[in-house]
Structure 1
């Protein structure tokens, strides 16, 4: 009896302490002397990749595609395969997040399958992003960019990396990066918000930055970008387009992910004040007007985990796909009904009207995922590669129908 009473008193004390803690945090977010504000709402949790048995060849039959398209494995056992970049000789470079590796996948005989998977770097801090310039491989970790010179002839014995820039923030939350060189020969590097929803004093947070290839001249190109893990430049206009992940904990259907267009430097896309051009944030939107920020070109699936995107510039697919955008939807992690886990297409008609439709789906079956698309890459022959960090694979989508 004494033991039970002790337990009861202990539980009561915990309840009282919990109520006091909740009471002390129930007010509105306050600004410190530098103007920085942190949300008092519960913060989102980073989704971890699920380790399961690799899918089989038969699983590819679950993927639905438009008539005339086929999907196959380009490479398997590419652990935690994330963002991709293609070298001039056809070697595919692939970053990872949880694994800490960077891979090279040569296809020397050009048969549409990688000959081998070579680990050219390991033990890195979330090396998600990879990019190539003048024979050098650039790799993005959480807080730094490194460069591996003359990489294509040194796959088996990579050179010691050169540090290009090492002053990015060190927070892991949205700290992994997609990188690419733009038409202006500058390296574009996003810096995600280190939270679900917050306002940091440093302008580098929630932005897309750019720098010279040697790491000099860092500047913010776009503001109000919560977390982009994919962008590309229009083949004709050379203007930047990018995806952005909407904030969490506003319900299953708010806010949507975004597809954005940034034709010039200095634009603000709303975060953390306004989401998707139409929804003021319940905490940070007070006194703000969504009309003051740039709206998305297209609202995407809410919490769909929209990541990599690329304009289709190949000639294998029918002409209706020319210069249209393929988008990888990694999938939701905290939505009541899962959504995403597919490859989608944003296309515009002759009048400039856009539509967002599924292209390849089936990695989600009866509410259970067996794969999670991350990035897309157009190959020289016009086929499309898709990386999958859950199934540790790179897929190849080819068109064999009549044009």
Structure 2
């Protein structure tokens, strides 16, 4: 019951009041040369995005217990179709596609829908891969999942609190074989990561992490981290943003004991899903950049986030400060959307999920639209 009460409090902000009307792009701004459209406004609570081999877009959800399949996106000759391929699940926010199968993450279970693109109209019953994921009633119980270049399934395990000493039970990333066996701890000291990504040409894992609350408007920053060796620790709860000791837990630990972030993303922006943009390029300015969905702050007097940003790399492969790509999801005290995940498409366009308005957006480069 406690878990369900917590879930209600979290997803209550995911429903757009009817007085505001249907989702619209009119309040949103995009970087020069880009065009934004709404693919569907029928994906309530949309969170993580996964791509099937045949162009199907799969979406986990935060609130309604559904997993969606969206077809014919970017095909002007066919209408977009939204199907529900799984329902009555518990916070199935994480989805990942691998070898024809769709993997789904609940708080305590990993499920799989076999050969899903052959059965979009008659989806199979979810098969349980494991029902023993680390779980505790409290904060950050939802999961983000992704398959790495090693063929293993990576799963984020959030800390069940704003700040607490979780040891090595929570606040980490784990990995498993696709059949759920051989579970391994990958990284520690992570408060709440909701985004994992690898470059096509690299083996290092990149991930976002949300900084703790209740330390002021501007501290600590959310983090962009990279894992370069197994079982690195990134500091939580002892050290935040690489250089700020926690006022309670940091007295016995130096920040120098932990791996610092490669980039500070800003306090309370709630950086979630991230992906590398690796072409074909709709805009050459995005080649090799990271795309990051900033869900938006709640613990800040002046809200931050509520946008999609790009992080580009210099000639020495060092990440640069984030640049807005899509913004305006919050204006004049009103929230119109909260980006949750980003996903480049094979045609160069970029998908963005929004769990507040229940929408899926598609960003294209304007020159491509005009062809």
In the superposition, the TM-score normalised over structure 1's length comes to 0.85
Q: Find the counterpart in structure 2 of residue 185 from structure 1.
A: 151
**1:107–1:115 Cα contact (<8 Å) kept:** yes
Larger Rg: 1
Match of 2:64 in 1: 99
Cα contact 1:127–1:139 (8 A) shared by 2: yes
Give, in whole Å, the separation in 1 of the partners of 2:222 and 2:235: 13
Paired position in structure 2 for 1:304: 269
Q: Confirm or deny that 1:372 pairs with 2:338.
A: yes
Secondary structure of 1:348's counterpart equals coil
Tell whether the 8 Å contact from 2:194 to 2:209 is kept in structure 1 after alignment: yes
In the alignment, is residue 174 of structure 1 matched against residue 165 of structure 2? no
Work out which of the residue numbers 344, 347, 350 in structure 2 matches 1:381. Answer: 347
Aligned-partner Cα distance in 2 for 1:333–1:59: 23
Q: Any idea what SS the aligned residue of 1:320 has?
A: helix
Q: CA RMSD in A?
A: 1.9
Q: Any residues of structure 2 matched to 1:1-400 within 5 Å, and which?
A: 46=10, 48-53=12-17, 59-107=24-72, 110-111=75-76, 115-172=80-137, 173-201=139-167, 203-353=168-318, 354-400=320-366
Q: Cα distance 1:265–1:319, how it changes in 2: closer, same or farther (>3 A)?
A: same
CA distance in 2, matches of 1:140, 1:122: 13
Q: Is the 8 A contact 1:75 1:114 kept in 2?
A: no
| TM-score after normalising by structure 2 | 0.92
CA-CA distance at 1:380 after TM superposition:
1.1
Unaligned runs of 5+ in 2: 1-8
Aligned length: 357
Instruction: Provide the C-alpha distance between the structure 1 equivalents of 2:362 and 2:316, rounded to a whole number of angstroms.
Output: 31
Contact between 2:14 and 2:357, CA under 8 Å: does it hold in 1? no
Q: Is the 8 A contact 1:223 1:268 kept in 2?
A: yes
Instruction: Answer whether contact 1:313 1:322 (CA < 8 A) is retained.
Output: yes
The question of whether the paired residues in 2 share the 8 Å contact of 1:95 and 1:102 is answered with: yes
Change (3 A) 1:118 1:290: same
Q: Once the 2 structures are TM-superposed, how far is the Cα of residue 96 of structure 1 from its aligned partner?
A: 0.5
In the alignment, the residues of structure 2 paired with residue 166 and residue 69 of structure 1 have an alpha-carbon distance, to the nearest angstrom, of: 43
- Distance in 2 (CA, whole Å) between partners of 1:67 and 1:367 is 25
Distance 1:57 1:162, change over 3 A: closer
Q: Which runs of 5+ in 1 are unaligned?
A: 1-44
Q: CA deviation at 1:317?
A: 2.4
Deviation string 1:283-329 (CA, Å, 9 cap, x unpaired) is 11012110110111110121111100000012232222111001000
Do the aligned residues in 1 keep the contact of 2:221 with 2:264 (CA within 8 Å)?
A: yes
Change in Cα spacing, 1:393 to 1:47, as seen in structure 2 (3 Å) is closer
SS at match of 1:350: coil
Matched residue SS, 2:24: helix
